[in-house]
Each structure stands twice: as structure tokens, then as C-alpha cells.
Structure 1
Amino acid sequence: MAEQEYDLIVVGSGAGAMLGAIRAQEQGLKTLVVEKADLFGGTSALSGGGIWIPLNYDQPRAGVQDDLDTAFSYMKRCVRGMATDDRVLAYVETANKMAEYLRQIGIPYRAMAKYADYYPHIEGSKSGGRTMDPMDFDASKLGLEALETMRPCLPGNQLFGRMSISAFEAHSMLSRELKSRFTIIGMMLKYFLDYPWRSKTCRDRRLTGGQALVAGLLTAARKAGVEMWRNAPLKELVQDGAGRVTGVIVEKNGQRLQLGARRGVLLGAGGFERNQQMREQYLNKPTQAEWTATPVGGNTGDAHRAGQAAGAQLHLMDWSWGVPTMDVPKEPSYRGIFVERSLPGCMVVNAKGQRFLDESGPYPEFQQAMLAEHAKGHGGVPAWIVFDASFRARNPMGPLMPGSAVPDSKLRKSWLNTVYWKGETLDELAAQIGVDAAGLKDSARRMTEYARTGKDLDFDRGGNVFDRYYGDPRLKNPNLGPIEKGPFYAMRLWPGEIGTKGGLLTDREGRVLDTQGQTIAGLYCVGNNSASVMGPTYPGAGSTLGPAMTFAFRAVADMLGKPLPLENPQLLGKAV
């Protein structure tokens, strides 16, 4: 017998889980959120907060034209048959409706007109406008007490480890726009002059990215009256004699509680990247939980296992949302290297000192290239990102601020030969990091020549609009710079991820399917807890959070007995 009854129980408190809970509560369903950790927000709170939304409401203002047929065809080409057409179409049709709902509950987004889809070579891609970034959120709307229950931003995602920065501002600074200096000065003044707020907390009042999204969702959840529990891990799903999921068993205050769910259970508890046993069972080798950029203690696959025990089918379990990461002492998790590798004047090499990829390409492909290079026996794990004194002076790299602002003499002494390696010559650097010196010198020579000609003859770095987004537009090729002036630097990269993308297979309503392809009544799943609708790829920035929230939006409609119909069924089965 259930000790408490709800209409809907949501497991997890990331973006997808939270949106589902808010939508359900607003539609009259008594909803409970149970979160394993002691803080709300999951990986979403550490993310950039972007959502990939074709045909979004802000495209007209940004001067972007898009259409359903083109967006559907692009996404279908990307997923390569690893997600059904009806799920792909459901996403493309519903994503903007979900984004509109976010705006209605106080979380407006804006289109990033210059941020291209990740695969410009695939027909149907756009040179910008499908990715949306959250508007700034004033933390005082959430309140200090509630803010303390939300997972804080990682220091690496903030300016000087304390000031929030938006995706637009980051792009302005890294691409060296003239206005960027004034932007930085304005941010600093606003932060340091906010004495009333800073006297109460070290967290910035101005929230951006994933912090803005999660704070907005927590504010909306409180307004809607959603009940939320922390430190309440899922132990198992409860099913009736017919196999319908009717509730959950969670642990709270050391006690196991059985909770009833009249309409259903929505799983949104993240991936399994922090579970070493599951990594070894499913992911490509080598694989280590410590390499991931997601929160320690979370994303351990508990809800995957619970769903599997209830008969769920698993899909895409050998895929992840890959990104190269580096270990920074005293940071809680490894740091993802998303944009710095695009800046001109750096290169990535294997143990032979040879380049093996386009350093500016999409980060999932970067991670896959590292693993593939290692499998060939060329030493791609770890890989090394190498740059010279000129790059060091001008640019950030991981925890290193530009040398013009923070010279080597001001860096922590313990970081030398742990976070970064330094040699007066490339021969000296190669000896320190254990790579072939002849190969390293040849790679630097070739990169320097490519910088002068503007053409990377090996991997065409800078040859597409996506690569060039985080480059220096003043150069012949925004992503190519010479590597010739000592001293030389290297930093170690690991094949990490921002989550796994395999999980419970669902239909277009977010309903979980069993091993026979039939729905498990009462069980829904979204986000990295589910098998991604994006298949093995990453069509554009925001391809994790966008689907998580969109399918939560659709799932609630189904729970209410009002499933959202497909508006363009004629596209199903269309050859692309």
C-alpha cells in the first residue's frame, strides 16, 4: 500500500524533469519531484542552457528563415535511422511550442543568429538561428533560500570564477569584437557595485546559461505548487499485476517509502556516466567515470536499471555526448573544453606528435576521434593541446587566463607539470609530455604554414561556418595561427562527456517501450535517461536540453489524455 499518493511522480530535477513537473501541476495533476542529490538542477544547472529549436519564435527577429520540411530533413539525415521518423517529426513540430511555454512561465530565450548547426556539410543545416540561449535571470526572483538548494555554476563557466557570462558575451570576447572590452567592464561594474546582494551570498545575482534556466524552472515550480524532495533516491518502480507502473519506492531519511502515482511516473534522472561498471559494460574503451564533466555523485544509471527491471528496452547505450575534458585540481569534476580549441594558434596531437582531427569541429566528434585514434595504436588517449607563447599571451585555455592578464609567474606552482607543461623548445616540451619530438615539430611547422596560406590541407580546419564561430575574424583563416614562438605549452585532454545518450527507448509521447516494442503503461522517460532522439549525432547546440523538455511537454499531454497529434504525417517515410 502506497504511503502517499500523487498523480505524477517525477524522478530527477534537471530541465526535462522540472518542465514536466511544472506543466503537469499547472494542468491540475498533483505532482512530486524526487531528487537523489542534495541540490536541485542536475547536469542542466552546469550546462550552457542552450536549446536547439528549429522554427523558433525568435528567428524572425534575428532575420533567420526556416521551414519544417528543411528542419525535419536535416535532423533525419543526422540521426541516421537510429530514431524513428515519427519521433523526429514530433520533436521538430513541438519544440517551438515548448519554447513558447518556457516564455509563458518566465523563461524567455533568444535565437543565436550566428551560431551554426554542428554539421554544415549536411543538407538542411542552417548557418544560425536554431540554437536559442536563455535570457538573463535575476536570482532575487527565486530568493536566497531557494537559490541555496540549486546546484551552483562551475567556476570555469564564469568570468574570473565568480561573474556570470552569457553565450553572446563569450562569443564577443573570444572573437575579439570591439565592444567586448566595454562588455567586460560593464559586467564587472554591475557585479562589484551590487553590494546589497553580494553581502548575502557569493553567487552572482545575474544568472545566465543553465543557471538561468534552472532558476527559472525552480521559480515556476514554486509558483505552481510542485512538491519537491531532495536526498530522495529512487530505489525501484512499482508495478501492478498487469505490468502498469503505479508508483515508486524511494529512500528518504533512511526509510524506504512507497509512493503511488495515479497517472504515471516520469523518469528524468540523467545518464549513467558516473557509473564505472555501466561504462565498462556499454561504452567504447578506454573509459573512466572521472573523465566526465557532469556532477559527482549523480548520473549513476539508477533509473536506467529501475526501468530495465520493469521491462524497458535499452537503446544507444554505446553513445555519449562526448567532449574533451581536462583535470583541474580542486574543481569538482573534469572541465569540458568546448571553445578554446577553436582559437587560432593551438593544435591537438597524439602520442606521435601528429594532428589527427579538426580541432574546431563539434565536440562529440572530437571525443570519438580521440577514441578512434587510440584504437589504432597512435595514442589518442590522452591527447595533447599544444600552443606557443603568442597564443598563451592572448588567449584563455581551460583554467589558464590569457598570459597578458595572468602570467605564468602568477599561476599556482602546483599546476606546472600537472595542469600544463612548458618547454623552451618543442623538443623540450615533447620530452616532458612523452610524445615524438620529430612529429611534434613537423605538426607545428605545418600548422604555421597553413596559418600563412589560410588553408589547412590536413583537416580543413576553419573551412566551414561552424568552425569559424569561435575564431578570430581578422585573420585569413579565423581558426589558424602559427605555432613558432617559445616557450611552448601543452595541456592534457581526456575523452570525457557531458552525459551519456543511451537509455530507455521511448515513443513520440515519451512513453517507455518494452523489449517487444509495446508501451509500459504509466512509465515515461526524458532527457539522458532515455535513448536520444538525436541518434548518434549532435545536430546543433542545445540538442540535449531541447528534446528533454520537448518530450516532457508531450508526455504530460499524453498523461492528460490529450496527446499532441502529428501535424505533418505526410513527411513520415520521406526519403532524404
Structure 2
Amino acid sequence: MSNGWDREADVVVLGMGAAGCAAAVAAADAGASVLLLEKMPEGREGGNTRISGGIWFNSLDRDGMATYLRSLCGPYTLPEEIIEVWADETYKNTEWLEGLGVTPGVHADYKPEYPEMPGAEFYGGYLGVNGEMGQQLLWKALSAAVRDKGVEVLLDTPADELVTDDDGAVVGVAATSGGQPLRVGARRGVVLATGGFENNPDMVRDYLQLPGSPVWGSPAGTGDGIKMAQKVGADLWHMDNMMAALGFAADGFEAGMYVMFIFSMGFICVGNDGRRSHNEIPPQGHGHGLIDGDYELFQRRPLHVIFDENTRQAGPISPPREILPVGWNLLMEGYEWSADNSAEIEKGWIQQADTPAELAETLGIDPDGLEAAVASWNEVCAAGNDPLGRPAATLAPLATPPYYGFTSAPLLGWTNGGPRRNEKAQVLDPFGQTIGRLYAAGTVSSTYSRCKDGGFHIGDALAFGRVAGRNAAGETPR
């Protein structure tokens, strides 16, 4: 083959999550031959899309959702051209999925997470395959569509480097397949859809200042696409934006364990001094909480989570499959959290002690501070008013020993930053010039500069995946 390629296609797509699948389908529909390279082996492919809620948001009005996105950005504004294309394409997501044979349905009655922001009234809640959440349903539908379109998929084939011509345009990919080098030529373009950098400890430390955070999702998101794009001159955006939650690393599991107090609100979060410093349950969305009158990243730093025997007995502190069928450990590893949290305590993932002071010693925090914090919290619950602003309905005392706790680093869900792109999904250099024939979509280059609502990440991946695939297919063949 020319240029020493082992394989060639019109469009080469890197990654098999929502963005990669959408790009591959769109490029194939535009008449291009498509080759999709997926880093992970069979049974582990699909990125975070596979183990997410698989939900996309219902856009009730194209212009209204454009207003909502502007509001969510706040001072971290996006180019108007990107907002307009985002609004157009996310409005079309449901119709496009129906064209692939998906039957959409409303999943529960989800309201906007930022109801006070202009445009929130046009957010129509969650849509899912057959109205269901998680269970790999959306990814299975998308990956089936990819193959139905005749797209060839090479699993266990991580891309190592983008290949450029003398003018700096991307003309192919150097990859490894089955442990052997593979050079793949792209006659029209390459689409990066390789996911985020949450599993790259150095990048997490440098960009997010979260050393030691475990990860909720797929182990595939190690920043490969970001680094490949940087090497060919890409600028970066949104590198400090993310979503994190309560959770911890667990021996024997690749991903961290996610914690969400559903059955009892009897818990507090404290710092190394043992003291509460903020409302643990502020009004919040996917990654941001309303704190001191403004939205900021939440959870943003390590915290120690404390609860008592009443909360332990109330139900699992990690949502069970019947409530939230998502996450790597649940869907891929098959881990089922115990109904009363006893198995996790026995494993040593959750620490136990007879008194708050003893628990503090185990967790490595100030014993006097935690004793005072628990006593103060119980007084707050008795009074029915939290000076830090926690809602009255969540004021459940910690009064029944033994006491339990764990340290949340916190758990990193996903990142938003990567190569800067324009409204055509073309990757840009630091001077705003396009890098020829290189496109990006999904969390490798998320649209979102600040706040995100539910279903926004899947919605964005589908929308700009299609944009990237169409435009790459429209390039003049080499």
C-alpha cells in the first residue's frame, strides 16, 4: 500500500464510545469507508458510554437549550458557533437514534439540575433506550449500528501516534494491534474519540490537582488522544473541568467504589481537622455544587465520610443495580454491594469504631475535632437548622454506635478537557488554525467549560460525533 500503510480507509475513528460510534455511522452514511480502532479488547470496549447511564437529554426547544448552555458556561464562555451547532445537533439526537432502530423513552421525571438558570425550562429530562437507564443498552445499540453500517472494527488496537504529511495534516495513525505495529492510512480524516484522562495519574495531578483519586469508570481513559493531538500541535481547552463524587479505591478492583447515600442521610463529611466545612448536599448538578452563592466543582478535595449504625442498617451506601445499574464494578466486574454494608466493612473498605474519637484515629484525622463535629451535628439535627445550609429533611443525627467512615479522595467520574475544536469538530492549534484532517468529539474534547446537566455528556458525544464523522467524510481524498 502507499506510504507503507498496512491498512487504509477514508475515515479512521479512534474509540468506540458514543462519540466514536456516532462518528463512524455518520461517516459511513456519507459514503466513506470507515475503520474504527478500539483500544480495549473484546468485552471491555466502549469506554465510559458502556457503563454510564446511557441517557441523553431531551431538548424541548433548540434556541432555548442554546440559552441554557450559555447560562451553564457562566464566565467560561464558548464560541457562539459551537453553541449553535450543539443546540442544532442535540435537538436531533432522538430522531437520529430512532433512525438506528432505537426506541427512546422517558426515564423517570428528571428536572433540570440548575432550575434558576435562564433556559432551564427547555431541558426536558432524561431519555433512554426503552426508557431505561444503564445496563449497557445505549452502547449495545450504537455498537450494533456501527457493524450494521459495514464499519470494520479492530479491537485491542490502541493508537500510539498520529501520522502527518509535510504540511502538518493528519494522514494516518500508528497503532498496535495484537501486540504488533499497525500503520493505518486515512484518505480523508481521523476522528479522535478516545475518552478522557481520568486514568492518567500525572495528568490528573497536574490539571485537576487531585493526586491519588480513584476512578469510577472505564480504565481506558488515559489521555492517549489528548497527548497524540498535542504532539501534532493541538491547543487544549477545559482541562480543569471534571465530575467527581464520593467514593474510594478498593483492593482487587480496577475502578473505585461509588458511594451515594440514598436510604439514609445520616452522614457528614469532614476535613483532616475532623470538622465540617460545607453543606454536604448543596444544590448540585453533574460536577458542580452551589456553594457560597456560586457554582464550583464538587467534590473538589479529599474528605472523610462519617456515618453511624442507623445509616449502616438503613441500606447500601452504594446504589444497588435495581436503582442505578451503572459503573464499571457493577456492570463489568459484577460486584454487588451488600444490602447492609457489612461485607464492605469486613473487607476493611469501611472503617468501624465504637466512638468518633477512635474512628478518627483509624482514619488519621483529629480526634477532638471529629468528636466536636459529631456533637455539633447532633445539636443541629435536634434544632432542625444547619448553619451551613443543609436541607432540614437531610438532618439525621449520628447517635447510634458503632461509627463508620472512609476517606473519599474523591472518586473521579470523568474529565472534560482535551484538544480545542471548532464548530465543525476540527482540532485547532494555539493560534486558532485547524490541524488538517483531524477531528475530535466526546470527552476527549468535551464542549462543556463549566456546569453540565444530566445526559449532557452522551448528548454532546452523539452530536459532535456525527459532526466529526460527516466532516471527515467530506474531505477531499488524498
Give the alignment's TM-score, normalised by structure 1: 0.71
Residue 456 of structure 1 pairs with residue 456 of structure 2? no
Alpha carbons 1:509, 1:555 under 8 Å: kept = yes
User: Quick one: distance in 1 between partners of 2:167 and 2:381?
Assistant: 66
User: Quick one: distance in 2 between partners of 1:264 and 1:131?
Assistant: 33
- Counterpart code for 1:47: S
Alpha carbons 1:304, 1:529 under 8 Å: kept = yes
Residue 295 of structure 1 pairs with residue 225 of structure 2? no
User: Quick one: distance in 2 between partners of 1:332 and 1:385?
Assistant: 22
User: Quick one: distance in 2 between partners of 1:549 and 1:76?
Assistant: 20
Residue 416 of structure 2: aligned partner: 501
User: Quick one: distance in 1 between partners of 2:384 and 2:115?
Assistant: 19
Alpha carbons 2:170, 2:436 under 8 Å: kept = yes
- Counterpart code for 1:426: P
Per-residue CA deviations over 1:225-278 (Å, capped at 9, x if unaligned) read: 110001111122122233222221212233322222222111000112222233
Alpha carbons 1:114, 1:129 under 8 Å: kept = no
Q: Please, which of 291, 314, 330 is the counterpart of residue 394 of structure 1?
A: 314
Q: Please, which of 3, 14, 17 is the counterpart of residue 11 of structure 1?
A: 14
Residue 547 of structure 1: aligned partner: 460
SS of 2:120's equivalent?
coil
Q: What is the root-mean-square deviation in Å for CA atoms of aligned residues? A: 2.8
Residue 193 of structure 1: aligned partner: none
Deviation at 1:334, TM superposition (A): 0.8
Residue 21 of structure 1: aligned partner: 24
| Higher normalized strand content (fraction of residues) | 2
4+ aligned runs moved over 6 Å, structure 1: none
Residue 140 of structure 2: aligned partner: 215
% of aligned pairs identical?
28
- Counterpart code for 1:259: V
Q: Please, which of 281, 288, 291 is the counterpart of residue 365 of structure 1?
A: 288
Residue 108 of structure 1: aligned partner: 103
Alpha carbons 1:111, 1:129 under 8 Å: kept = no
Alpha carbons 1:291, 1:494 under 8 Å: kept = yes
Distance 1:211 1:268, change over 3 A: same
- Counterpart code for 1:494: A
Alpha carbons 1:114, 1:128 under 8 Å: kept = no
Alpha carbons 1:114, 1:127 under 8 Å: kept = no
Residue 44 of structure 1 pairs with residue 49 of structure 2? yes
Residue 518 of structure 1 pairs with residue 415 of structure 2? no
User: Quick one: distance in 2 between partners of 1:422 and 1:254?
Assistant: 46
- Counterpart code for 1:32: L
Residue 326 of structure 2: aligned partner: none
User: Quick one: distance in 2 between partners of 1:251 and 1:432?
Assistant: 46
Deviation at 1:483, TM superposition (A): 2.0
Residue 329 of structure 2: aligned partner: none
Residue 97 of structure 1 pairs with residue 92 of structure 2? yes
- Counterpart code for 2:198: E
Alpha carbons 1:37, 1:233 under 8 Å: kept = yes
SS of 1:36's equivalent?
coil
Alpha carbons 1:115, 1:128 under 8 Å: kept = no
Alpha carbons 1:341, 1:359 under 8 Å: kept = no
User: Quick one: distance in 1 between partners of 2:34 and 2:182?
Assistant: 16
Residue 78 of structure 2: aligned partner: 83
Per-residue CA deviations over 1:17-63 (Å, capped at 9, x if unaligned) read: 012112222332211110111132112112121223422xxxxxxxx
- Counterpart code for 1:116: K
Identify unmatched segments of 5+ residues in structure 2.
Answer: 290-295, 322-337
Residue 196 of structure 1: aligned partner: none
Residue 536 of structure 1 pairs with residue 466 of structure 2? no
Distance 1:450 1:99, change over 3 A: farther
Within 5 A, what are the aligned runs for 1:265-304? 265-284=190-209, 286-288=210-212, 291-296=214-219, 298-304=220-226
User: Quick one: distance in 2 between partners of 1:425 and 1:116?
Assistant: 40
- Counterpart code for 1:332: E
Per-residue CA deviations over 1:487-531 (Å, capped at 9, x if unaligned) read: 22112211231222110101112111122101222111011211x
Of the structure 1 ranges 212-221 and 482-491, higher mean CA displacement relative to structure 2 is found in 482-491
Deviation at 1:112, TM superposition (A): 4.2
- Counterpart code for 2:441: V
User: Quick one: distance in 2 between partners of 1:124 and 1:355?
Assistant: 34
Distance 1:400 1:428, change over 3 A: farther
SS of 2:140's equivalent?
helix
Per-residue CA deviations over 1:156-205 (Å, capped at 9, x if unaligned) read: xxxxxxxxxx55xxxxxxxxxxxxxxxxxxxxxxxxxxxxxxxxxxxxxx
Deviation at 1:485, TM superposition (A): 1.8
Alpha carbons 1:511, 1:525 under 8 Å: kept = yes
Alpha carbons 1:79, 1:533 under 8 Å: kept = no
Distance 1:92 1:277, change over 3 A: same
User: Quick one: distance in 2 between partners of 1:413 and 1:519?
Assistant: 53
Alpha carbons 1:275, 1:301 under 8 Å: kept = yes
Residue 559 of structure 1: aligned partner: 472
Residue 231 of structure 2: aligned partner: 309
Residue 227 of structure 1: aligned partner: 152
Q: Please, which of 260, 273, 280 is the counterpart of residue 352 of structure 1?
A: 273
Distance 1:521 1:216, change over 3 A: same
Alpha carbons 1:342, 1:359 under 8 Å: kept = no
Count of aligned pairs between the two proteins = 445
- Counterpart code for 1:225: G
User: Quick one: distance in 1 between partners of 2:233 and 2:416?
Assistant: 19
Alpha carbons 1:120, 1:127 under 8 Å: kept = no
Deviation at 1:399, TM superposition (A): 8.2
User: Quick one: distance in 2 between partners of 1:259 and 1:46?
Assistant: 29
SS of 1:422's equivalent?
strand
Give the alignment's TM-score, normalised by structure 2: 0.84
User: Quick one: distance in 2 between partners of 1:545 and 1:333?
Assistant: 21
User: Quick one: distance in 1 between partners of 2:344 and 2:214?
Assistant: 22
Residue 527 of structure 1 pairs with residue 456 of structure 2? no
Identify unmatched segments of 5+ residues in structure 1.
Answer: 56-66, 137-165, 168-208, 372-379, 463-476, 563-576
Alpha carbons 2:244, 2:413 under 8 Å: kept = yes
User: Quick one: distance in 1 between partners of 2:357 and 2:272?
Assistant: 14
- Counterpart code for 1:71: M
User: Quick one: distance in 2 between partners of 1:480 and 1:413?
Assistant: 24
Distance 1:257 1:436, change over 3 A: closer
User: Quick one: distance in 1 between partners of 2:424 and 2:177?
Assistant: 30
Residue 324 of structure 1: aligned partner: 246
Residue 411 of structure 1: aligned partner: 343
SS of 1:492's equivalent?
strand
- Counterpart code for 1:22: V
Alpha carbons 2:243, 2:288 under 8 Å: kept = no
User: Quick one: distance in 2 between partners of 1:239 and 1:13?
Assistant: 23
SS of 1:544's equivalent?
helix
